[in-house]
Amino acid sequence: MDGVVTFLLTQKPDEALAFYRDMLGLRFAGDDGSALVFDMDGAMLRISRVPEFSPAQHTVLGWKTHDIRAEVARLTAKGARFELYPNMGQDELGICTFPTGDRVAWLKDPDGNLLSLSQFSNTER
């Protein structure tokens, strides 16, 4: 195998392009007619056009970061809205800290795909 390819679905390709390229800062590699293609530091993300779908109720794609507070603040300044869940103990930015010290914040793309940012307490992960 030569690398990882990840997949998401969209009914809103124009909004997805703006979200992933302009808000998240992923490198847009092109549009092959059936999918928007992005390069995520060597991993390919294909966001396929579909006529309809129901987004999963769980995280489908995430990124790790060494400074989750700075990343959440940066994305919030660009218009991202982070999800708040009852009884998750999230702080004012929407960041949940787990007993292990790991921290996670969740946001949705224009199609409702649930994404996450994670800062792991163990830097080996």
Q: What is the pLDDT of residue 123?
A: 61
Strands, E assignment, the chain: 5-10, 27-31, 35-40, 43-49, 59-64, 96-97, 103-108, 114-119
d(CA 24, CA 22): 6
Largest Cα separation within the chain, whole Å, is 45
Total structural domains within the chain: 2
Q: What is the pLDDT of residue 76?
A: 97
Q: Domain range spanning residue 20?
A: 5-49
Q: What is the pLDDT of residue 122?
A: 80
Residue 35 lies in a domain: yes
Average confidence (pLDDT) per 10 residues, the chain, 125 residues: 94 98 97 97 96 95 97 96 94 96 98 98 69
**Which CATH number does the domain housing residue 92 bear?**
3.30.720.110
On whether both 67 and 38 belong to a single domain, the answer is: no
Q: What is the pLDDT of residue 125?
A: 53
On whether both 38 and 90 belong to a single domain, the answer is: no
pTM higher than 0.85, yes or no? yes
